[in-house]
Amino acid sequence: MERVLVTLRCQPMGYWAVSVYEVLAHQVSNYYYTSNRSSGISRCDTVPTGTGGGKGRGEDKRGRRGAGRREPPSRSPAGSMAPLLLLLLLLLGQPLLGAPGQGSGTWARFARLPYPQDQLFLHDTFPDGFLWGVGSAAYQTEGGWRQEGKGASVWDTFAHRPTTPPGSGFTGPTGGDVASDSYNNLFRDAEGLQRLGVSHYRFSLAWARLLPNGTAPLNPAGLAHYDRLLGRLRALGVEPVVTLYHWDLPQHLQDTFGGWASPVLPELFRDYAELCFRHFGGQVRYWLTMDNPYVVAWHGYGTGRLPPGVRGGPRLGYRAAHHLLQAHAKVWHLYNDHFRPTQRGKVSIALSSHWIKPQSMTDKNIKECQKSLDFVLGWFAKPVFIDGDYPESMRSNLSSLLPEFSEDEKKYIKGTADFFALSFGATLSFQLLDSHMKFQQLESISLRQLLYWISCEYNNPPVFIVENSWFVSGSTKRDDAKYIYYLKKFIMETLKAIRYDGVNVFGYTVWSLLDGFEWHRGYSIRRGLFYVDFQSHDKKLMPKSSVLFYQKLIEKNGFPPLPENLPIEGVFPCGFAWGVVDNYIQVDTTPAQFLDPNVYVWDVHQTKKLIKVDGVFTSKRKRHCVDFAAIRLQVSLLQEMHVTHFHFSLKWSLILPLGNLSLINHTLVHYYRCFASELLRVNITPVVALWQPMAENQELPVSLAKYGAWENPETIQAFVEYAKFCFTSLGDYVKFWITMNEPSVKNLTYTAGHNLLKAHAKAWHLYDKEFRRSQKGKISIALQADWVEPACPFSRNDQEVADRILEFDIGWLAEPIFGDGDYPHVMRAWLHRRNSVDLYNFHLPSFSEDEKKLIQGSFDFFALSHYTTTLVGWEKEDALKYDHYLEVQMINDITWLYSPNRAAVVPWGLRKLLKWVKSKYGDIPIYVMANGIDDDQNMVHDKLRVYYIQNYINEALKAYALDNVNLQGYFVYSFNDRTAPKYGLYGYVANQYQPKPSMEHYREIIDKNGFPGPDTPEVLCPEEIALCTECHFFRTRKSLLAFISFIFVAFIVTIFFITYYSKRVERRYK
């Protein structure tokens, strides 16, 4: 094969990492995304909608672009937005000015963003100077609960109770007594920070460690401990972000005053804060007064689920919140008035929130979502950031329960934050959010939408994400893939909020540095980047895979575009097979009206119908292929698509209903013959599979399915006889055979697979010996081959799992045929191990030497079907997605794009698969026999499939052009929705086929033979000559042709002699 010139085309980093020929968003939407990166301009009421497409230049089918000389890839610059469009939106747009209730436009806006582009992963970097950090809380990690004069906190008391309140979820009698023992391992934690390379570390001061009773006297040991910590951070160049109060109220204040239910607490909190500012303020630039006051007030004093465990009901919960807000305001004013001029720091309050989405996009549901956020986040955010008072929705619904602020208090509380400190993740979401505060709407984990809502609602404040992550099981040790993919999602959403939405986020904090005590969930989950063995004495920090992930992310300041993520320009070779798949073609053998010998009379006066005349018949003509209307329709649709190949499967169970030649469905065989001949007539090559398993009887004849199917060795010979019949009956029309199409290894026993391989090999050798010379075709097997990727790319254990699954899923049937004639060594070794240690008895049969020779090399090409990519790991995290037999955990990357049926769209998986096949089985011809995705049938523009086809084909081009994979064809799955609902390039509505945009997009790619660019040499491929199907008429009637030829020659000779003698007679008379 010739190779091609390929060009990498860069795109604007602020736009989506999509292919260069992607259907782009409407110009306004395009501006919206690209311009916001640099200007930060956004409008809360601006909703970019619609998509548009562009036509590229290309050749028609008969002048298709071909391959030129292959040269090193080069990059071409991307275009920029029109200056006039930029000026227009600058004039029309307004800087984001928030106001209470303005965030309600968030749901409609995000529902109407361009799909799927808006959901794609964004490869870009964060702004220069962006803050990357980690955090921890004193009670979760410090331990040393009675060490060196520390007083008891409400959490100490709560954890030591013999029983805990119902529904608290708290486990274990010791709580945070020791936890991660950070109090005694300050330098250990500092080494972890140094390894990560973070710019800041958020930690909290234990109020009861500094003031054991909550008030004077001071504990010098506690003061010295935090001095040492701050000094170490200063030596490492790590910025401290210090929380004054993270839920661990001194127990003495709870016992003496009633805790936050008392109006005395705000003043005591101010005194505690003044101590901290005086002693530590010179080393601290960012202060947080308190963390998540919603949890403290509602669950500490309302429900009693958390310390101090007071079940005071809503009224007491709202009163505690009232005092928390007053306390925060006092501390902010204290710092602003007395410490800011010299220390030049900033103060805020860490507010936690969930995200909520409407059950349906109605005004009522959206108002309920707005109310939900008001009741949780707005409860504290609106007084601080807007007007010093509670949200209107709370005041109107809770007038008798909600305390009131005086006008002076409102002025005092308003504006008491220098930035918006946001906590989002597993502490509140789906855990501590009371169900009635969802207002019958659906909780979600969309950080990006929450950030946009905050910007709209609270006047576009600078946002510091001070806590964010998810969790893994408490049994998970070092390879925390689930944690990584949640981090990846949250960080990517933060990046989109900055680049696409103009949200002013300046820092991000992963929670947490190390495993610790997780509040109401005890030690049942882990949230640390570093693993801690809580049973060990020294409590060493062991880096998890997430450490490497976060470390590299910090180094790169985000997700910069990589060459392998960029689409390329180039074309496929001449003769490349462009195809489409239909598992089973529509078979309609109803005879045409022209074959009906009856005579009819039209009753024009009464019934207006045709009436058959009994006893009167016309002469009956012979059947022709054109009599099958269904064939004409399907072939015309394929012509419209411009494909060169069409792949479908025969129905063994219908052709030979009894499984042998004693009963043959000649009508169906004739239909298949006609279908293939009509394809050839219009220059489309039929690619025919002898057998494809389906749900009912595996598509085997009933007699075979009834007696063991492929478990029965007799099925082997039955298949060979069936194959011989098909070769004989259809071989003159079919030159591209598949013995077995996508045999499902998931539902295949080892014995059945053994027999299936032998049946394939015998059919291949049958064709090779008896039919290849005369029919000049090719034949192989088509295997389903989805890519398997290690969930943790840094984990050797995960890589071993991925390799094992590939061998079981693909190598099981591929290795005997394309490899050494036997099953993969990995399979045999694994099954031997499992059989020796478990109660399993999985017997993998053995081939004799003759059988190995029979099977090895029984192929003409490698045909594979590829649909998606799967992530696998070895750490057991989710029992529902864990395969005990192969010891593999299935993982989801929640940043991937998913179809309605939850199939992951991972284009690069195809390229990796093709490279793997080449590296394992050599430079053999490869055909991608099926590649497709389901889509929502209600989506008129089937945008997901357009994206899927575009990018999977581009990855196939990379494999061919950059990796030198001998790729010779690509087939889209599937032809139409009638035979494969939701997968078709043609819709099927009201008995009519309708081309979808994805069909037209695929046709455009076919016409261009790939993705030609300005630097791609134009090579016109020679026109493919269609086989003369009519010639078959003459080939099968040689005797008749000989007789006609004899008569014609005799006639010519007779004419010659008559002419000759006539002329002689004339000359004689003359």
Please state the φ and ψ torsions of residue 775, each to the nearest 5 degrees.
-95, -20
CA distance 419 to 350: 10
Q: Give the residue from 323, 283, 316, 288 showing the smallest Cα distance to 300.
A: 316
End-to-end CA distance of the chain: 73
Strands 346-352 and 286-291, bridge-based pairing? parallel
Q: What is the pLDDT of residues 145-190, one digit of tens each?
A: 999 999 999 999 999 988 654 444 444 437 999 999 999 999 999 9
Supply the pLDDT for residue 410. Answer: 98
**H/E element holding 418?**
none
Write down the residue that tokens 């050839």 correspond to.
680
CA distance 405 to 386: 14
Q: Give the residue from 131, 350, 342 showing the smallest Cα distance to 238.
A: 131
Please state the φ and ψ torsions of residue 851, each to the nearest 5 degrees.
-65, -35
**pTM (predicted TM-score):** 0.86
Q: Give the residue from 303, 337, 333 showing the smallest Cα distance to 320.
A: 303
Q: Give the residue from 191, 188, 172 showing the smallest Cα distance to 180.
A: 188
Rounded to the nearest angstrom, the gap between the alpha carbon of residue 353 and the centroid of all alpha carbons in its chain is: 26
CA distance 342 to 805: 62
Q: What is the DSSP string of 687-736?
A: EEEEE---TTGGG--HHHHHTTGGGSTHHHHHHHHHHHHHHHHHTTT--E
Supply the pLDDT for residue 23. Answer: 31
The answer, yes or no, to whether the previous bond of 116 is cis (omega within 30 of 0) is: yes
Supply the pLDDT for residue 204. Answer: 98
Supply the pLDDT for residue 1052. Answer: 86
Residues with Cβ within 8 Å of residue 335, at least 6 apart in sequence: 273, 277, 281, 287, 343, 345, 347
Specify burial of residue 828 (Cβ count, 10 A radius: 0-12, 13-18, 19+). middle
Q: What is the pLDDT of residues 728-772, one digit of tens each?
A: 999 999 999 999 999 999 889 999 999 999 999 999 999 999 999
Residues with Cβ within 8 Å of residue 85, at least 6 apart in sequence: 27, 28, 31
Q: Give the residue from 1010, 156, 1000, 197 showing the smallest Cα distance to 554.
A: 197
Specify burial of residue 862 (Cβ count, 10 A radius: 0-12, 13-18, 19+). buried
Q: Compute how many other C-beta atoms are within 10 angstroms of the C-beta atom of residue 237.
A: 10
Q: Give the residue from 219, 248, 250, 214 showing the smallest Cα distance to 148.
A: 219
Specify burial of residue 505 (Cβ count, 10 A radius: 0-12, 13-18, 19+). buried
Q: Compute how many other C-beta atoms are within 10 angstroms of the C-beta atom of residue 806.
A: 23
Torsion (CA) 250, 251, 252, 255 in degrees, nearest 10: 140
Q: Which residues of the chain have pLDDT under 50?
A: 1-42, 46-96, 165-173, 1026-1036
Supply the pLDDT for residue 18. Answer: 32
The answer to whether 188 and 541 are in contact (CB under 8 A) is: yes
